[in-house]
Structure 1
Amino acid sequence: MKAFLRDNKGFLAFLLLFGVFRTAVADWNPIPSSSMRPNLLEGDVVFVNRLAYNVKVPLTDVVLARTGEPRRGDVVTFTSPEDGTRLIKRLIALPGDRVEMRNERLVINGVESDYLLQEAAQELAAGTTLQARRIAETVDGHQHRIQVLPQLVVPRDFGPVIVPQDSYLMLGDNRDMSRDSRYIGFVPRHRLIGRAERILVSADYLGNWMPRTERFGMSLR
């Protein structure tokens, strides 16, 4: 064992530093589901800045220092308060916000968000499509695209609720196919992993595995 450690100490040091880098500085996150369509697709791999909000003890949720404040509209990775799985959603409401949703329309602190409708089709599986309604949603001056599927029977209303201190309300951009704060509750700050900033690479793994080069390097802000 000693001989192995001596002969491979350079490689082992690299693995250690690489592990610290991935768990404390920067990471990448594959997108496994449709919950963030139309902005993130299954097969995208996003770059996550782990220092955007906190410095943590590697492999834990223990916060050593705060490095920045989460902002409305950020695409955030976090560990679910429900079961500890890693999720990626959009930060919609900040601590102290009063939030409600009425027929898919958000109202934050008494101000209804703006919506511009656009029709599209979403491929769910090979040979199967559902008609999707893609919408430009503007929340407190921050615009992003969302998607709803009018054919599905899903909850379209909640609240009003008040976001607790040091917690955030997260929603998937694919509003009718996302397990987010409507189901798992508010996300405490210490569970935030980082801010997703851009798509590194992308491949159509639901289809022919061809790379989607037009998505390489695409900014999420």
Structure 2
Amino acid sequence: MTAATAQPESKGLLHWLKKEALPLLVMLGLLAAARDSLANHYQVPSGSMQYTLMPGDRVVVDMRAYGLRLPFTGVELLHTGQPQRGDVAVFDSPQDGTRLIKRIAAVGGDRVALRGGHLSINGHPLAQAGTDEVEDFGRTLAQLDLGQGGGPDIQDLTVPTGKVLMLGDHRGNSADGRFFGLVDAGALYGKASRVYYRRGEGFTWQAL
């Protein structure tokens, strides 16, 4: 190959990079930013949230629920909502950084008691009349799994402002806030909104 033929080839490659590769990289960057800031997904690793979530479930996570953040950072650009009791949320464990999914059992100012796996908020039991395994959070119902007992009790805890208590629905088989403590409300990664895939059922669109 002569220098004369190599020069047009190098120009052609440069032209292709400008025309095709650069837009592709921009698109991939935008997709990554959208995934980090707007919506993502999470695969449930364990049975700690039975029966709401089962091992292997894939869920849609809305990262806009508690604040729109600058992509790839924790900097909040726009406040879009507060964590609410009963929400299922994704967060990093304050103990070891493992990404977890649990239910927001209580928010700042709540007085909490948990006995035998049954939750009371501000002196009011959440279990519905006639059943010990359904709790009414007002905005949503939680179907508990108490097949392995209720796990450790909580005696009259008042949640400080800016904190949340995260619990699993499988109360006797959940490493949750009873073990790693309270979580900063601002550190919640996002709200799990729907199950879109479940083993044995395939694709679904089940609201949480």
Normalised by the length of structure 1, the TM-score is 0.79
Shift of 1:140: 5.1
Alignment partner for residue 216 of structure 1, among 193, 204, 207?
A: 204
Change (3 A) 1:11 1:60: same
Shift of 1:60: 2.8
Alignment partner for residue 200 of structure 1, among 175, 192, 196?
A: 196
RMSD: 2.1
Alignment partner for residue 76 of structure 2, among 40, 63, 66?
A: 63
* 3-state SS, counterpart of residue 22 of structure 1: helix
Change (3 A) 1:142 1:202: closer
For structure 2, the 5+ residue unaligned runs are 1-12
Shift of 1:158: 1.5
Q: Distance in 1 between matches of 2:139 and 2:56?
A: 30
Higher strand share: 1
* 3-state SS, counterpart of residue 91 of structure 2: strand
Does the Cα contact within 8 Å between 1:54 and 1:65 map onto a contact in 2?
A: yes
CA-to-partner distance for each residue in 1:19-78, whole Å, 9 max, x for gaps?
A: 101100100111111111111111211011100111122233332331112211111111
State, as a whole percentage, how many aligned pairs show the same letter.
36
Q: Distance in 1 between matches of 2:31 and 2:127?
A: 44
Q: Distance in 1 between matches of 2:24 and 2:138?
A: 49
Q: Distance in 1 between matches of 2:60 and 2:138?
A: 26
Tell me if 1:32 matches 2:42: no
1:143 corresponding residue in structure 2: 141
CA-to-partner distance for each residue in 1:179-215, whole Å, 9 max, x for gaps?
A: 11111111102211111111122235xxxxxxx13x6
For structure 1, the 5+ residue unaligned runs are 119-134, 205-211
Shift of 1:80: 1.5
Structure 1 window deviating more from structure 2 (16-25 vs 60-69): it is 60-69
Does the Cα contact within 8 Å between 2:107 and 2:163 map onto a contact in 1?
A: yes
* 3-state SS, counterpart of residue 19 of structure 1: helix
Tell me if 1:165 matches 2:170: no
Tell me if 1:175 matches 2:188: no
Q: Distance in 2 between matches of 1:197 and 1:142?
A: 12
Does the Cα contact within 8 Å between 1:74 and 1:90 map onto a contact in 2?
A: yes
Q: How does 1:103-114 map to 2 (within 5 A)?
A: 103-114=116-127
Q: Distance in 2 between matches of 1:82 and 1:156?
A: 18
Does the Cα contact within 8 Å between 1:26 and 1:48 map onto a contact in 2?
A: yes
* 3-state SS, counterpart of residue 61 of structure 2: strand
Quick one: which amino acid aligns to residue 30 of structure 2? L
Does the Cα contact within 8 Å between 1:100 and 1:106 map onto a contact in 2?
A: yes
For the pair shown, which has the larger CA radius of gyration, 1 or 2?
2
Change (3 A) 1:98 1:19: same
Does the Cα contact within 8 Å between 2:44 and 2:54 map onto a contact in 1?
A: yes
Quick one: which amino acid aligns to residue 200 of structure 1? Y
Q: How many residues align?
A: 193
1:41 corresponding residue in structure 2: 54
Tell me if 1:72 matches 2:96: no
